[in-house]
Amino acid sequence: MRIESIISSAVKQFFVESGLPEPDNSLIQLQKTRREFKGDFTLVVFPLIRLMRKSPDQAGKELGNYLKELPEINDFNVIKGFLNLIVESAYWSGFITESAFDSSYGLAGKPAGKQTVLVEFSSPNTNKPLHLGHIRNNLLGYSISMILEANGKDVKKVNLVNDRGIHICKSMLAWQKWGKNKTPADAGMKGDHFVGDMYVKFEKAYARQIGEMVEGGMCEEEARREAPLIKEAREMLRKWEADDPEVTRLWKRMNSWVYEGFDVTYRRLGVSFDKIYYESETYHTGKAIIEDGLEKSLLKKKDDGSVWADLTGRGLDEKLLLRSDGTSVYITQDLGTAVMRQNDYKAEKMYYVVGNEQDYHFKVLSLILDELGYEWADSVEHISYGMVELPSGKMKSREGKVVDADDLIDEMIETAGKLSAELGKLGGLTSEEKESIVETIGTGALKYFILKVDPKKNMIFNPEESIDFNGNTGPFIQYTHARICSLLKKAEQQGIVPESSERPGLSLSDKETRVAALLHEFPRVIAEAGRNCSPALIANLVYDLAKEYNQFYHDHPVIREENAGLRNFRLLLSVMTCNVIKRGMKLLGIEVPEVM
């Protein structure tokens, strides 16, 4: 039984033996003791003093004296209503012995009749390549999917591709005007980059037209509306929605170029999907849903023919669902996509990994689904995350000032190679091994730096900081894993094999105990990361573990330890640390090499 359960049961027994009302589980609050205080676990006394009718200090001391009688508790101290408990070495050594070789440690079992959850992420537009913002989205979405799966969920990773609309027509029109009938292969470019360049050409030419019209005396708003280029793009969109054969052929051709480019970037990021939905398909379903809502008087049509959902009774405003010309808006296809997905998977939850600028949009989506009578409307959950920027500032795709995902990955791998060579990390490896490890280090640095930040926070991605072999970085954790692998290999070569049998009477140092306590935390952190959809919790636990292990390793011999029982414990501690680092980093989508 884990120490948390032992303490919780003992607290309840204390109340029973004292003739007091037995506390509810919610009142027994255990947490990890803060670093500045002595202890392993802290019992928060304040919720219990109402039942005990004692001061926080008196209640803490009474509970501490009772719990100290447990064989697992060595000592305690009370500080301002917090009971800090010091766990016996025997508990930690027994825990490590039992868990070191557990291949599923920290992972929830697969419950019978488990419910499916969907995680939507990526959601790119087919008028440009993936950029730094997409990298954060993809890494978060993939890692959250892995974490939910580790918590026993049946996860389906889905992608909604924005492959229709005026922005797509801008790239298509630019190719007709300035593409000279070239293909990405002719230009020697990835397809998504090639089409993205067309989009930038359109925006620059459009900006020139607006400037000329404003200089001629027209107001800017009217110039944006009346510029010849935007009128041509709108006409192309109208033809596309009317299934014009020529426009449709061009649309399919250019989108195919983009998909080929996306696939390459997805592979490099290590992300994949179980199903891809396309807005060019889902908006038809969305329009049909809206028409049905009109017939049932659940929605209303205004005099100009536009269709709206009235959410004023829900404390919001009215929401446009169809324009007066019958064309759809973003929420039209989101309604269609949600219904299609529910029909496909009957999902318990539908998570949308989308930036925080869309918080209101997803609140509205859930309410409209509820207004339309869908019982599963509250399954919509927005995983909102902050923006990511470089130290130089924001990105502007219309001006071509974006941090291209492929370029950033290339830069990270190149930097990893240079730094690894300078630090002598690649000695004795073949060129193929060097190439593989450098790619693992570079992409691992990128992923870890982004995922260690609380998703809700805005962040600045600094490539130089991310690839440091010291500090809270991916390469530091990867190097720690490789270091432990090397230690275990040396032990094996010397015929020293750790045994999964407990040696009684071991006295552990504070540093050994701290490593064991972090390993003990792993299942709880995975569960919390699943509840909060936050990979950062796992990233920072794995970093703390790597840091504590390095401090332990610096001060304590492992293979050279003369006491056989202690040497065996330290080897088991190393085995489990190695396994937990690998398992934790895998949940972040990061590989850890065995040699560095």
Torsion of the alpha carbons at 432, 437, 440 and 443, rounded to the nearest 10:
-90
What was the pLDDT predicted at 342? 96
- What are the structural domains of the chain? 3-87 (3.30.1360.70), 149-273 (no CATH), 278-400 (3.40.50.620), 405-587 (1.10.730.10)
pTM of the model: 0.92
What was the pLDDT predicted at 397? 40
Q: How many residues does the chain have?
A: 596
DSSP sequence for 360-381:
HHHHHHHHHHHHTT-TTGGGEE
What was the pLDDT predicted at 111? 65
Nearest Cα neighbor of 567 from 494, 517, 514 is: 494
Q: What is the mean pLDDT of each run of 10 residues along the chain (596 residues)?
A: 92 95 93 91 95 94 96 95 95 95 87 84 95 95 97 96 94 96 96 96 96 94 95 94 95 97 96 96 94 94 94 93 87 95 96 96 96 96 92 50 84 89 80 90 96 96 86 95 96 92 84 96 96 98 98 96 94 98 98 91
Q: 3-state SS string over 216-254? A: CCCCHHHHHHHCHHHHHHHHHHHHHHCCCHHHHHHHHHH
Q: Are 539 and 459 in contact (CB under 8 A)?
A: no
Torsion region of 327: left, alpha or beta (phi above 0 gives left; psi -120 to 50 gives alpha): beta
Query: 183: how many CB neighbours lie within 10 A of its CB?
Result: 13
The identity of residue 402, as a single letter, is V
